[in-house]
Homo-oligomer: A and B are copies of this chain.
Amino acid sequence: MATERSNEPIGVFDSGIGGLTVVAALQRLLPSENIFYLGDTARVPYGGKSRRTVERYSIEIGGLLLAERAKVIVVACNTASALAVPRMKEIFNVPVQGVVAPGAEAAAKSTRIGKVGVVGTRATISSGAYEHAIQGINPGIEVLSAACPLLVPLIEEGMFDDEVTRTMLARYLGPMLGAGIDTLVLGCTHYPLLKKAIAEVAGPRVTLVDSAENCAHAVKLLLAESDLSAAPRRLGSLSVALTDATEGFLRVAAHALDLEIGDVALRSVQSEEKQGV
């Protein structure tokens, strides 16, 4: 049964626009839910920044989502999920769902030979978050990781079907494909936009684990368990806010994901870096 908070929005955040892949997956799975999306485009990308900075930015954005009455916070950014979710769970009094845990579970279930590849930003990969999560489920699974720093810029240029993108994918995936992985985690919420090209390079023997898709399933479960699911038979809304006025990649992504995005609001961010060496 729906509680009084059940019609409040799911708060979704990403460092930029990539998290819209999670929004698209949430809308397919939970069409009755209201979604409030906040992209921290004033400080995008998080992928090359330090743990402390990513944690600080994430907590700040989490607070802005709570100000929008979010009933749950979805961290639709692998870098922030890898670096900031533990601290956010301590601080915030609503459920916090990242993308790493659901992706790791799906990967552990998918692999038959115990060899999983993970691709993501430099920060996500060097955090070891997926490796840790997958081996926490099954220590026997071998995890091969590759940081793919050029994929986000290529995706943001809309170069989904392009020789340059395929060349870079072949370089990034070459070693793990050579090592015989049978499962590949798309450990960045931008990457589902490149699923077709990745599937072509990886070949038919490799199962792709879409962290956006799996995150949406985890949110569904979380809402049901917490008695926070929206009343069915209503049509949920989507509101999008950014921290910088430049929309850039927003329209490209919305088009590719078939999302209806109306007016985009601006939200304020404030940040301080302590002095030190």
The residues of A with any CB-CB pair to B shorter than 8 Å are 41-44, 48-50, 52-53, 122, 149-150, 153-154, 156-157, 163-164, 167-168, 243-246, 248, 263-277
- In the complex, chain B residues whose CB is within 8 Å of the CB of A53: 42, 244-246
CB distance from A163 to the nearest CB of B (A): 7
Q: A153-B153, A167-B164, A168-B164 are in contact. Are A48 and B268 (CB under 8 A)?
A: no
Of B154, B244, B272, B276, which is within 8 A of A49 by CB? B244
Q: In the docked arrangement, what's the CA distance between A275 and B269, Å?
A: 9
In Å, the complex CA distance between A44 and B243 comes to: 15
A32 nearest CB across to chain B (Å)? 27
Residues from chain B with a CB closer than 8 A to the CB of A271 are 42, 269-271
A265 / chain B contacts, CB cutoff of 8 Å: 276-277
Q: Which 9 A-B pairs have the closest CB atoms?
A: A50-B245, A153-B153, A268-B273, A50-B246, A53-B244, A266-B276, A270-B272, A48-B248, A49-B244
Residues of B within 8 A of A49 (CB): 41-42, 244, 246
CA of A263 to CA of B276, assembled, Å: 11
In the assembly, what is the distance between CA of A90 and CA of B140, in Å?
63
Q: How far is the CA of A159 from the CA of B163 in the complex (A)?
A: 17
Q: Which residues of B contact A244 (CB under 8 A)?
A: 49-50, 53, 273
Question: Considering only CB atoms, which chain B residue lies closest to A57 in the complex?
Answer: B42
A267 to B273, CA, bound (A): 7
* Residues from chain B with Cβ under 8 Å of A270 in the complex: 270-272
User: A273–B243 contact, CB under 8 A?
Assistant: yes
**A67 CB, nearest partner CB in chain B, Å:** 11
Query: What residues on B are CB-neighbors of A48 within 8 Å?
Result: 44, 246, 248
> Which residues of B are found within 8 Å of A42, using beta-carbon distances?
43, 49, 53, 271, 273
- The residues of B that contact A150 with a CB separation of less than 8 Å are 150, 153-154, 157
List the B side residues contacting A157 at CB < 8 Å. 149-150
Contact indicator A273/B269 (Cβ below 8 Å): yes
In the bound assembly, the distance between CA atoms of A49 and B266 in angstroms comes to 13
A153 to B246, CA, bound (A): 19
In whole angstroms, what is the CA distance A127 to B276 when docked? 36
Asked whether B272 lies within 8 Å of A268 as measured between CB atoms, the reply is: yes
Cα-based distance from A53 to B50 in the complex (angstroms):
22
Chain B positions within 8 Å of A248 at CB level: 48, 122
Closest to A266 in B: B276
A228 CB to nearest B CB, Å = 27
CA distance A122 to B275 in the complex (A): 32
A56 CB, nearest partner CB in chain B, Å = 9
* Minimum C-beta distance from A74 to chain B (A): 22
Contact A268 B263 (CB under 8 A): no
